Structure 1
Amino acid sequence: MALISLEDLDRLDDDQLEDDITDNPEPMDEEDRDRLLTHWQAVASTHHVSVPPDMTVPIQEMTRNQQQREPLPFTPVSSHEKMGEVLYEERLYPAGHWACVTKGEDLYEQSISMGFMKLMRFICKENSAGQTPPPPTIYIKKITLPFIYMCVCVCVCVYISLGRYLGMTVPVVTNVHMMEDGNTFQKCVQTAYFLPAEFQTNPPQPSDSDVTIVHREPIRVIARTFFGTTTEETLTRQISLLWEILGATNDLRRDEYLVAAYENPGIPRRRNEIWFVRRNP
C-alpha cells in the first residue's frame, strides 16, 4: 500500500492544506473537498493511477478519521538482533475476516493503488453495516368486481443501500505471488484490509462485487522492517536480503510473500515490513 492508499492520508501538511482540515471533525466545505481530491490526483498521477471524482467522499471520510486506527492483533514469538539492531521478528497472527481486492495492472504500484481505492469505498459506507431493513414492497394492484372497478394506485418506494464508516486497521497487507522462476512477481496482487474487532463476528457485506470477505486461518510470519518506497524493485531487494539473513530453510514459503504498509509515502523513510510465511503455523 505504498502509493495512492492509506499512507497518502498522512501526507497532507500545513503547506498543502493550511486550514488543517485533516484534524477537523466537521464536514468539509466544497473548497476543502476539491483540494483533497486534487492532492490525491496529483500523487496518483506520478504512479500512472487515475483518481476519479467519485472518490471525493471516501477520501474526505478517511482523512477526517485518520488518527483512529486499530492495529492488527498478534502474538510475538521471537526477536532476533545483531549489534542492537532487530534483524527480524517472528509473530503469530490470529484467524480473522479480511476484505480483499485482487488487481492485475501493468505495475505493482497500480494494482495496490486501485485495489485500495475499492477498499476505501467499502470502508466508507459501501457496505451493509448499520443498514435498516428495506420497507415493505408497495405495488400497484387492480381489482375488478361486478359494477365496480377499483384501482388502488400507490407510490413505489425505493430503498437505497448505504452502510457506515467501518474504521481503519493497520497495516494493510498485500499478497505477492511469485512466478515459477521464484524471482518474478505474478501480475495479480491482492490487497487486504483486516476488519475491525467490532465486525469480526458478523462481517458487513460489500456493495462492490470486486471486494470479497475472506476468512483467513492463523499465519505465522517472519517480519523484517524496511523504510522507503514499495515498488517491485525494492520488494525484490528486500526479499533477497531477508533470505540472506535467514539462510537455507524449507520451513518458509517461497511462492508467496506479504507486504505490510504502515505509513505515509510523503515521509522519505516510511515504515514497511516484508513478511515470510511459515508453512506450518
Structure 2
Amino acid sequence: MFKVIGQTLFSSGLQHPAFTTPEETNVNKATDYEIRTYAPTKWVSTTLTGTSLDEAMATGFRRLFKYIQGNNVNKVQVEMTAPVTGHVDPGAGPTCESHFTVSFFIPVKHQANPPEPSDPDVFVEHRKEFTVYVRTYGGFSNENLKKEELLKLVESLKRDGVEFVDKPYYVAGYDSPFKLLNRRNECSTPSSAGVEAAWPETGADPSKQPRQPTPLSASVQSAWMSDDMSKETEVSDTCSPSQDTAKPLRPSALC
C-alpha cells in the first residue's frame, strides 16, 4: 500500500503505455505536436456524465485509486501508472451533459489478466491500436487550460492540413499535485483513420461492457450555475426540458 501511495504522491517510477512516433523515421516535421501510435493495451476505467471535466476527473480518479489499492475481486494491490487519461465526448451545447471516461493504464504485470473490479462503476477497458495527435504542455492544468491547449492543437493540425477528428478527444496528466516543477500534461485528438479505435470498449464479453455513465452529484453540477452572466445561453430542446427554466452553465471543455 505504501508503495502505491508513494508513487501517487511523487509520480516516481511510474509505468507508461508503449507507443511509437513517426519522428523515429523522420516523417513528422511538426514541432508543436506529436503523432503517436499506441499499441493495444488494457486500462481500468470508469464513466461519468456532467458538465465539468475537472470534477469528472477528480471523481473518476478516486474510484480508480480504490481499485489499485485492492478494491477488486482478488484484493490485489496494483501499482500506480501514468498517465491518468480522460476520454471526453462533449455534449451538443454549453448546457448539455458530456460523457467522460477516466482511466489508469494497467501495469505490464497485470496486462494479461487484470484483477476484476469490485465496484460496479469500474471496468477493464481494452484499447485497440490507435493513432492520435498529441500536444504537451506544463504547469498545473485545469479545465480552461485544457480547452486552450486543445484549441491550439486543432489550429496546428488545420495549419498543416492534417485530417483529424475533433471529438471525442483525450486529456492526460502525468503528475501528482505535489510535484511543482517540470509537470507534464497532454491533450490529443484521434487521426481520422484511428477514431473508431479511440472509443473505449471492453471486449466481446457482454458482462464486461461499460456501465451506464454515472451522473455527477447535483451539488457538483449546481456549482457551475452562473447567475451573473449578462446573457442567457440558448438551450437546445434536446438538452433541457424547457428554455424558460434552464439556467446558463459554464461551458464544458469543447463548448
Query: TM-score band, normalised by the shorter chain?
Result: 0.5 to 0.7
Q: What's the TM-score once normalised by structure 1's chain length? A: 0.59
- 2:164 maps to what in 1? 252
Structure-2 separation of matches of 1:185 and 1:280? 28
Structure ranking higher in strand proportion: 1
Q: How many residues align?
A: 185
Say yes or no: does 1:123 pair with 2:35.
Answer: no
Coordinate RMSD, CA, aligned:
2.4
What displacement does 1:241 show?
A: 0.9
TM-score normalised to the size of structure 2?
0.65
- 1:278 aligns with one of 187, 191, 196: 191
Q: Which residue of 2 aligns with 1:73?
A: 18
Shift in Å, 1:263: 1.6
Answering whether residue 78 of structure 2 is matched by residue 166 of structure 1, we say yes
CA gap 1:184/1:197 in 2 versus in 1, 3 angstroms? farther
Q: Cα deviation per residue 1:80-102 (whole Å; 9 max; x = unaligned)?
A: 44xxxx31111100112111111
Contact 2:72/2:118 (CA < 8 Å) preserved in 1?
Answer: yes
Aligned AA (1:257): Y
Q: How does 1:134-173 map to 2 (within 5 A)?
A: 163-173=75-85
Structure showing greater Rg: 1
Contact 1:69/1:170 (<8 A) preserved: yes
8 Å CA contact 1:177, 1:186 repeated in 2 = no
Other-structure match for 1:175: 87
Conserved 8 A contact 1:99-1:212: yes
- The letter of the residue matching 1:178 is P
Q: Distance in 2 between matches of 1:70 and 1:185?
A: 36
Moved over 4 A (4+): 183-186
1:116-145: CA deviation from partner (whole Å, max 9, x where unpaired) = 1110010111123xx4xxxxxxxxxxxxxx
Establish whether residue 88 from structure 1 lines up as the match of residue 30 from structure 2: no
Per-residue Cα deviation, 1:17-61 (whole angstroms, up to 9, x for no partner):
xxxxxxxxxxxxxxxxxxxxxxxxxxxxxxxxxxxxxxxxx7x55
Q: How does 1:37-52 map to 2 (within 5 A)?
A: none
Q: Which runs of 5+ in 2 are unaligned?
A: 195-255
**Equivalent residue, structure 2, for 1:221:** 132
1:255: how far off? 1.8
Structure 1 residues 68 and 164, CA, compared in 2 at 3 Å: closer, same or farther?
farther
Give, in whole Å, the separation in 1 of the partners of 2:97 and 2:85: 16
Cα separation, 1, equivalents of 2:7 and 2:138: 25
**In the superposition, relative to structure 1, how do residues 258 and 186 fare at CA in structure 2: closer, same or farther (>3 Å)?**
farther
Deviation of 1:168 after TM superposition, in Å, equals 1.7
Q: Deviation at 1:219?
A: 1.4
Distance in 2, Cα, partners of 1:69 & 1:170: 6
1:138 aligned partner: none
Report the identity percentage: 26
- The equivalent position to 1:203 in structure 2, one of 114, 120, 128, is 114
Aligned partners of 1:89 and 1:223 also within 8 Å: yes
